Amino acid sequence: MTDAVALDSPTSNDALIAIIGAGVMGETFIGGLMRSGTPAEQIVICEQDSTRAAAVCDRFGVSSLSMEAAASAADVVLIAVKPPDARSVLQIMGPLLRPGCVLISIVAGVPIQTMESIVADGVSCIRAMPNTPAVIGEGMTVISVGAGATAQSVAVARELLSVIGQVAEVEEPLQDAVTAISGSGPAYVFAFMEGLEAAGIDLGLDPDLARALVRQTVAGAAQLARVSDAEPAELRRRVTSPGGTTQAALRVLIGEKSTGGDLAALLAHATSAARDRSIELGRED
């Protein structure tokens, strides 16, 4: 390979992709890349847990390298470590990345400025926030692009990230809001499902039936919202007959603050807390 990388695609025949951190998200990207046609020999991992590294290499047929070796050789580097480890990884790898390399971080709270302050000129830095439905190829990833990133590097990043779902782009100041909505969002849905399932059991349903009802109802409603041209508010209205059972429940959730409702206000408060924590993570050393 030449010193200056020029990639048309992360799946180019000679493109080497380094996944830093072989946890759930790292493994998700490996699986997505291989399903999209990237050969195992084009993927390397860097993982401190040797047992985990061996298991991932055995499962996918990829290779394991030190961070120094991966940084020196890789055309695309995806950092998928825990937030407390991100800066030390960048300090080790950043100075070794070659001009033309595409550096993608999916670590919450790590700003592009931090990445760009460590890497050499010519390295394209891209911040991304995926979410956990990526493990089934239904993720939502939102990227922000560094000032030095080329159009070609952005295209490469988009193609790589699309192997786990949909990709959108925002200015970096909005990444903390993205983290609060789509990054943390699956947990809110799961918490809702957990509560609805418990409510069904309290109403006398068999636990297995309550779980089946909740899972299919949430999955079906989400799919209906995805394929429909109607806004969620309109879909809600279509289910809500005047004076009916749904209206009785929604009066508690969103229509009568005196009963502890107002779901929108509760979600606004919750997502603000998540956004604020994302900002705090970005300020922590």
What pLDDT, in 10s, does the model give residues 196-250?
A: 999 999 999 999 999 999 999 999 999 999 999 999 999 999 999 999 999 999 9
Domains of the chain: 17-172 (3.40.50.720), 185-283 (1.10.3730.10)
The pLDDT tens digits for 148-196 are: 999 999 999 999 999 999 999 999 999 999 999 999 999 999 999 999 9
Q: What is the distance between the alpha carbons of residues 165 and 210, in angstroms, rounded to a whole number? A: 29
- Residue 102 has φ and ψ, to the nearest 5°, of -105, 115
**DSSP assignments along 106-153, one per residue:** --TT--HHHHHTTSPTT-EEEEEE--GGGGGT-EEEEEEE-TT--HHH
pLDDT of 280 reads: 85
Q: Helix, strand, or coil here: 217?
A: helix
Q: What is the pLDDT of residues 38-56, one digit of tens each?
A: 999 999 999 999 999 999 9
Global pTM value: 0.87
